[in-house]
Amino acid sequence: MDMKKYNIKKLDTSNVGKVKRVTYQFTRKDNKPNIDIDVLDDIINGLEKQAEKKGENIKIMVRALNCQRWFTLKGFDETLNVQDFDDYYKGKVQKTEKFEKFSQLQVTILK
C-alpha cells in the first residue's frame, strides 16, 4: 500500500489503565471516498509488523466511515470482519459498490 496517498492524523493519545491508547485518522489526500476494504488488511499488517520489530504487543481496532455511517470492522480482540459488513447491505440495496468505499478510517492501537 502506498501510504503517500493518505493523510494520517493522530487524533488522541491517552492512558487507559496500564496501556496506552493511540487513535489515528486516515483520509485520502484527494478527499475521495475511495478507501477499499482491502486497504485495511495492509494497514493492520503494517502496524503489526512495525510493533513486532519494536517488541511491542499491540491490539488494533478499526472503524470506517462510508457514505451512510460508521462501522466497526475490527475489534481489539477480533479479526477483520468484512462478512458482517457485506451481510448488512445484502437484501437492503441492489448495488452495494458505493457502500464499500470509505471516506475515512479510525485506527485505535492499544500498546
Residue 36 has pLDDT above 90, yes or no: no
Number of domains within the chain = 1
Best CA proximity match to 105, nearest among 32, 39, 27:
27
- What's the whole-number average pLDDT of the chain? 86
Q: Which three cell numbers stand for residue 6?
A: 493518505
This model's pTM is above 0.85: no
Residue pLDDT, tens place only, 4-20: 788 999 999 999 999 99
What is the domain extent for residue 92?
3-110
